[in-house]
Amino acid sequence: MAVFEISNGTITVAVDSRGAEMKSLRRIDIGKEYMWSGNPEYWGKVSPLLFPLVGTLKNNEYHFNGRSYAMGRHGFARDKEFRLVSQKADEIWFALEADEETKKCYPFDFRLEAGYRLEGMGVKVFWRVENLSRERMYFSIGGHPAFRCPPEGRGEDRDSCYLGFEGKESICCTRLDGSGLVSKQKVAYETEDGLLAITEDLFREDAMIMEDGQIHSVSLMTSDKKPYVTVEFAMPVVAVWTPAGKNAPFICIEPWYGTSDAADFAGTLEERKWGRRLEPEQRFEAGYLIKTE
């Protein structure tokens, strides 16, 4: 396990080889840190990569080709050691491949690459998934970056900040039940010029999950309604989360290809909502952009 840094003279990013997880995104000129610290009192991760599962499986297992496989929430990639593939001053890539351990819970040969490239005052996060199996492969993938909220150096409370939803007048959220599965409950929020005040009540029932590609950009905003970090993405699902009832000083903005199983789900791996599929020797590529102000 090792931590690697890249810099473009404006920002510096630190990435841990364990999970290929971004641990720091810092502005050099003002010394401002945007990422959550990973304090386990609230949540011990910073920006885990979710693969080959996003969310929670019903009964913590899935079915494929007549067999059942157990897998914990959000998959195993976030806890695996990645290999450094390449590093330049402002770009870095890591890779993870299937092994005997991964095949116990995920029976595919795969190669997963995670890359980070600095762009101005932001960082582009890349994913590449290759199917090295002889059969069609099914997977979900997602990001889970946690940002300081309130921002460093402002002396504000988290609940004085806002979420920005690209000017949308309203958003519709899917809710999870108490076991982390998708419920039938939908909650609509009316915004004020696309802004929604951050309150503990928003996360009382776990994450706010927006499906069907209704949102492609989420911003965290200061008390004077100015964005200080924005996540842009093309995924069909995005979740916004902070631990319920803890008043934790961070907010996660999570672009997903995938989601938890529904509480009444009775299907197979192939039928999991928003999942991806790859034919043998095919490659899937995606990513998202984090912009800082």
Write out the two tokens for 87.
């590093």
Evaluated on CA atoms 43, 45, 49, 50, the torsion sign reads negative
| Residue 161: count of CB within 10 angstroms of its CB | 21
Q: Is the pLDDT of residue 154 over 80?
A: no
pLDDT in tens, 239-291: 999 999 899 999 999 999 999 999 999 999 999 999 999 999 999 999 999 99
Region 32-48: mean pLDDT is: 96
Domain boundaries, the chain: 3-292
What percent of the chain is modeled with pLDDT above 90? 95
- Burial 215-231, CB ≥16 within 10 A → b, else e: bbbbbbbbeeeebbbbb
pLDDT at 153 over 90: no
Q: Which two tokens stand for residue 226?
A: 């100015």
d(CA 92, CA 114): 8
Is 149:220 a contact under the CB 8 Å cutoff?
Answer: yes
Instruction: Tell me phi and psi for residue 254, to 5 degrees.
Output: -125, 100
Which tokens belong to 67?
A: 């067999």
Give me the pLDDT at residue 119, please.
95
- CATH-assigned architecture of domain 3-292: Distorted Sandwich (2.70)
Q: Give the pairing type, strands 227-233 and 250-257.
A: unpaired
Residue 218's pLDDT band (cuts 50, 70, 90): very high
Check residue 155 and give its pLDDT: 78
Which is it for the CA torsion 96, 89, 152, 226, positive or negative?
negative
CA dihedral 271, 277, 279, 285 (to 10 degrees): 180
In this prediction, residue 23 has a pLDDT band, given cuts at 50, 70 and 90, of: very high
Nearest Cα neighbor of 233 from 180, 290, 283 is 290
pLDDT tens track for 220-244: 999 999 999 999 999 999 999 999 9
Residue 68 CA neighbour count, 13 Å, CB half: 8
Q: What is the mean pLDDT of residues 180-185?
A: 94
Would you say 235 and 253 are in contact if contact means Cβ atoms under 8 Å apart?
no
Does the structure show a pLDDT above 90 at 152? Answer: no
H-assigned helices in the chain:
100-105
| Span 72-131, pLDDT tens digits | 999 999 999 999 999 999 999 999 999 999 999 999 999 999 999 999 999 999 999 999
| C-alpha gyration radius of the chain | 19
